[in-house]
Amino acid sequence: MTASLNPLLRNILKLKGLTEEHLAQLTELGLTSREDFRSVGDAATLLELLPNLNPSTAARVLLWALSNSGPAPESPLPPPPEMGNSVVVNTTDSVFCTHCQFKQPKDYHPGDLCPNCGLQAEPIETCYWCGASGPNKYCRACGAAFVATADLPLALILRRDGMAKDDIPAKLNQISEAEKAALWGRVRRARL
């Protein structure tokens, strides 16, 4: 009488990707327990025994069968990515390019070009509120959010009109093209 695979082992091997045909072939070969896979040794040998088996399935079966029973088999698949095991700690003086997010070298100075993309890593902006200039998104002198360089004259007009410092960037992002054209008209008249 030929030994057969127990129901638990059959279900586990089915979950790993084996079919009923594969299980019947294993029984014919005498592989009826988890320990029997130790004599197979690796996925390549299992593929020779079961030629119609998928290589990734063979690797999964042998990985399961040989875990906790000696060295793991060599898998033709790359190992799964490890989630959450890598931690990158950046110092507070780390600077990243605003265009490509590449970390700048330690000898970086504001206004330098990014070695990765070639653009200015931190564009130097002029503050519409206090007139200071510097990199980043906020003025280091007064804390105002920088506006796009093209909108600087419009921000100066809004400041002259008495609008609050924190409201000017939001207003410039929300105004329509018609309102923007009207503000540009005021800027041109002021230059004359």
Place of tokens 């004599």: 39
Place of tokens 């004359």: 192
Most confident segment among 74-78, 86-90, 135-139, 156-160: 156-160
Cα gap 176→76, rounded to integer Å: 59
Domain residue spans of the chain: 7-66, 94-123, 125-191
- Residue 70: pLDDT over 50: no
For the entire predicted model, the pTM comes to: 0.44
Q: What is the pLDDT of residues 121-174, one digit of tens each?
A: 887 888 999 989 887 788 889 999 999 888 999 999 999 999 999 999 999 999
- Residue 71: pLDDT over 60: no
Q: Write down the mean pLDDT value for the chain.
A: 83
Q: What is the pLDDT of residues 12-67, one digit of tens each?
A: 888 888 888 888 888 888 888 888 878 888 888 888 888 888 888 888 888 888 77
Cα gap 192→170, rounded to integer Å: 28
Query: Which is nearest to 59 in space by CA: 45, 73, 69, 70?
Result: 73
Query: Which is nearest to 58 in space by CA: 9, 19, 3, 7?
Result: 19
Q: Which residues lie closer than 8 Å to 29 by C-beta, 6 or more apart?
A: 49
CA 40 to chain centre: 39
Cα gap 105→168, rounded to integer Å: 34
Q: Could you tell me where the DSSP H helices lie in the chain? A: 7-15, 20-29, 37-40, 43-49, 55-66, 152-160, 167-174, 177-191
Q: Mean per-residue pLDDT for 63-92?
A: 65
Strand, helix or coil at 126? strand
